[in-house]
C-alpha cells in the first residue's frame, strides 16, 4: 500500500483541500454505546451527519461546532454524538458526500483488544501503516494514543496536525481513537490544538485532558502529566482539578470492582524508566509526578492506595515492561504477574517520531522485566475478568511479537500494603 504520508500529500493537493469535511475520527463518549464523531472544515458548515444501519435508512443527527483560530488559520471543529448504539451492529455515517462506517462492540465485552502506543509523528511514523492495516482488519477494537501526536499538532500553524489526522483517518474513522496530551501538545496556547481537535469522555470540566470510562471488565483512566510539565507556564489549578477528580473517580471505581475488576491508567510521562534521558528519567524515576513537590500532589500514591492494576506511559521512545513496582520497590519473581502486589507499568513510546530512539542504561535495571528499542506498539488483550495479555509488536521485525506476558488475578484480588510487606520486595537503590 502507498505510504500514507505520500497518499496524503496527493489528497491535500486538491481532493479534500480546504473545503470539505476532513480529519474524521470517532471516540467513545460516555460508554462503549455512545460514540462521538468529530471532523474539521475550513469553511463554515453544519455540524450534522446522516447515520443509520444501512445507507438507505440514514437519519440526520446534529451536533455542535467549535470555531477556533490558530496561527492565523480558522478551523471549524464539528462533533456529533451517536447515542444508544446496539451491540455488534454495522453503522454507516455520511458527512456531506463522504461515507464512513464502523461496527459497534459486542454485547459481551469481557474480551476485546486494544492498540496502545505513544509518540507517533508524521515524520518517521514507523508504526503508522501497521496500525492502519491492523486496525482496519479488526485486529484491535480501539486505539489508545498516550500523548505526543503528529510532532506536532500545531506545527506549521496546525497544518502538520491536519496532515496527521488525515493520514490516520482510514482507521480512526472506523475504530475509536482515545487520546491524551503529551508534552508535544503544548502549542504555547495552552493546548489549544489538542482541546479543539478531540472530543473525549466528559468529566464535568471543560477540559478533555483527563477522563475515565468503563469498557467491559476494565475501568480506563486517561490523565495529563503535562499539567505538571507546564505548571510554570499555565499554573497549578489544573493539577488540583485533575487530582481531585482522580481521587473521587478511583474511589468510585474501587467500589465497583465486582463488576469492573481491572483499573488501567494511561499517562504520557512515566513514573519509572531506565532510559538514559535527562530530566524525566532522573534517577530512573519522575519524582514530581510520583509524589509531588512544592505543595503539588503526586499521582503514584493514588495508584497504590486504589490498587491500580496497569499503568501505561510513553514519552521515552522505547518499550519497557516493569516488574510490579510501588514507591521505589519492585516485586520480581516467577509468579510476580499473578495477583501482582503492585501496579504493572508498561512504557510504550516507540511508535515512531522524528526524534531517534533513546538509549537504555547499559545494564538492565533489576525492576525492568523486558526492554526493547525497536519501533512498535502494544496490543493488550482483555481476555476476561481475571486475565489480560500484553504483546509488543516490533515494526523492525516485520510485526513479530517481541515480548508478551499474561497478568492475572484471582477474583477479588486487590494489592495492599500488607501484601507488599509480606512479600518484601527489593529497593530500587
Ligand atoms: Fe513526550
Indicate the residue among 107, 123, 153 that finishes a domain. 107
Report how far ligand 1's centroid is from the alpha carbon of 11 (Å).
29
* 296 and 393 share one domain: yes
Peptide bond before 152: cis, by omega within 30 degrees of 0? yes
Are 137 and 81 found together in one domain?
Answer: no
Question: How many Å lie between the centroid of ligand 1 and the Cα of residue 223?
Answer: 14
- Residue 16 CA to ligand 1 centre (angstroms): 31
Regarding whether 75 and 148 lie in a shared domain, the answer is no
Strands 149-150, 35-41: pairing kind: unpaired
Rounded to the nearest whole angstrom, what is the distance from the C-alpha of residue 133 to the centroid of ligand 1?
Answer: 25
Q: What is the CATH number of the domain that holds 314?
A: 3.60.21.10
> What's the pLDDT score for residue 357?
66
Q: Give me ligand 1 centre to Cα 147, in Å.
A: 7
Report yes or no on 391 lying in a domain.
yes
pLDDT computed for residue 362 by the predictor: 81
**What is the torsional sign of CA 352, 399, 275, 285?**
positive
Shared domain check, 298 and 406: yes
Distance 184 CA to ligand 1 centre (A): 6
Of the residues 107, 136, 168, the one at which a domain ends:
107
CA of 227 to the centre of ligand 1 (A): 13
Determine how β-strand 211-215 pairs with β-strand 177-180: unpaired
Cα(129) to centroid(ligand 1), Å: 21
Cα 313 to ligand 1 centre (Å): 10
Digits of tens for pLDDT over the chain (429 positions)? 445 554 444 444 334 445 799 999 999 999 999 999 999 999 999 999 999 999 999 999 999 999 999 999 999 999 999 999 999 999 999 999 999 999 999 999 999 999 999 999 999 999 999 999 999 999 999 999 999 999 999 999 999 999 999 999 999 999 999 999 999 999 999 999 999 999 999 999 989 999 999 999 999 999 999 999 999 999 999 999 999 999 999 999 999 999 999 999 999 999 998 887 666 777 777 888 999 988 999 999 999 999 999 999 999 999 999 999 999 999 999 999 999 999 999 999 999 988 766 778 888 889 999 999 999 999 999 999 999 999 999 999 999 999 999 999 999 999 999 999 999 999 988
Q: Are residues 47 and 153 in the same domain?
A: no
User: Distance between CA atoms of 71 and 93, rounded to whole angstroms?
Assistant: 31
What's the confidence (pLDDT) of residue 142?
98
Q: Does 169 share its domain with 253?
A: yes
Ligand 1 midpoint to CA 323 (Å): 23
Any residues with CB less than 8 A from the CB of 137 and at least 6 apart, and which? none
* Cα 314 to averaged position of ligand 1 atoms, centre (Å): 7
**83 and 137 within one domain:** no
Distance 93 CA to ligand 1 centre (A): 34
Q: Please identify every residue whose CB atom is under 5 Å from ligand 1, which is an ion.
A: 148, 182-183, 315
Grid coordinates representing 75 are 478551523
Counting Cα atoms < 13 Å in the Cβ hemisphere of 194 gives 30
> What is the 146 CA–ligand 1 centroid distance (Å)?
9
The CA 149 to ligand 1 mean position distance, Å, reads: 9
Q: In this structure, are residues 116 and 146 in contact, taking their beta carbons and an 8 Å threshold?
A: yes
Using the mean position of ligand 1's atoms as its centre, give its distance from the Cα of residue 280 in Å. Answer: 9
State the residue range of the domain holding 283.
108-427
- Give the relative orientation of helices 159-172 and 4-12 as an angle to the nearest 10 degrees: 120
Could you tell me if 283 and 225 lie in one domain? Answer: yes
The residue among 107, 136, 157 that closes a domain is: 107
Amino acid at each position: 500500500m502507498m505510504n500514507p504520508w505520500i497518499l496524503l500529500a496527493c489528497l491535500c493537493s486538491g481532493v479534500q483541500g480546504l473545503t470539505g469535511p476532513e480529519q474524521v475520527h470517532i471516540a467513545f463518549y460516555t460508554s462503549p454505546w455512545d460514540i462521538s464523531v468529530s471532523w474539521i472544515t475550513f469553511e463554515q458548515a453544519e455540524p450534522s451527519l446522516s447515520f443509520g444501519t444501512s445507507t438507505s435508512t440514514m437519519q440526520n443527527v446534529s451536533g455542535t461546532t467549535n470555531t477556533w483560530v490558530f496561527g492565523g488559520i480558522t478551523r471549524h471543529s464539528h462533533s456529533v454524538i451517536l447515542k444508544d448504539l446496539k451491540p455488534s451492529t454495522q453503522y454507516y455515517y455520511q458527512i456531506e458526500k463522504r461515507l464512513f462506517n464502523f461496527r459497534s462492540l459486542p454485547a459481551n465485552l469481557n474480551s476485546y483488544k486494544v492498540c496502545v502506543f505513544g509518540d507517533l509523528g508524521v515524520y518517521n511514523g514507523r508504526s503508522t501503516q501497521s496500525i492502519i492495516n491492523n486496525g482496519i482488519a479488526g485486529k484491535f477494537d480501539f486505539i489508545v494514543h498516550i500523548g505526543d501526536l503528529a510532532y506536532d499538532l500545531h506545527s506549521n500553524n496546525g497544518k502538520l496536525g491536519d496532515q496527521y489526522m488525515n493520514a490516520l483517518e482510514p482507521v480512526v474513522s472506523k475504530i475509536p481513537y482515545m487520546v491524551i496530551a503529551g508534552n508535544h501538545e503544548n502549542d504555547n496556547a495552552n493546548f489549544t490544538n489538542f482541546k479543539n481537535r478531540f472530543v473525549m469522555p466528559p468529566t464535568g470540566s471543560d477540559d478533555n485532558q483527563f477522563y475515565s470510562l468503563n469498557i467491559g471488565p476494565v475501568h480506563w483512566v486517561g490523565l495529563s502529566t503535562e499539567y505538571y510539565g507546564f505548571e510554570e507556564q499555565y499554573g497549578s489549578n489544573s493539577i488540583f482539578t485533575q487530582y481531585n477528580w482522580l481521587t473521587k473517580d478511583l474511589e468510585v471505581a474501587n467500589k465497583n470492582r465486582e463488576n469492573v475488576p481491572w483499573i488501567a491508567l494511561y499517562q504520557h510521562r512515566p513514573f519509572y524508566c531506565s532510559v538514559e534521558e535527562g530530566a524525566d528519567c532522573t534517577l530512573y524515576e519522575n519524582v514530581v509526578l510520583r509524589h509531588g513537590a512544592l505543595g503539588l500532589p503526586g499521582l503514584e500514591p493514588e495508584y497504590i492506595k486504589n490498587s491500580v492494576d496497569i499503568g501505561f506511559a510513553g514519552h521515552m521512545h522505547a518499550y519497557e515492561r516493569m516488574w510490579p513496582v510501588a514507591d521505589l520497590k519492585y516485586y520480581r519473581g516467577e509468579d510476580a504477574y499473578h495477583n501482582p502486589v503492585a501496579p504493572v507499568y508498561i512504557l510504550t513510546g516507540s511508535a515512531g517520531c522524528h526524534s531517534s530512539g533513546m538509549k537504555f542504561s547499559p545494564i538492565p535495571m533489576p525492576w525492568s522485566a523486558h526492554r526493547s528499542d525497536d519501533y512498535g506498539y502494544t496490543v493488550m488483550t482483555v481476555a476476561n475478568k481475571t486475565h489480560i495479555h500484553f504483546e509488543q509488536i516490533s515494526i523492525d521485525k516485520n510485526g513479530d511479537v517481541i515480548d508478551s506476558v499474561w497478568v492475572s488475578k484471582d477474583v477479588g484480588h486487590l494489592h495492599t500494603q500488607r501484601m507488599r510487606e509480606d512479600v518484601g520486595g527489593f529497593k530500587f537503590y
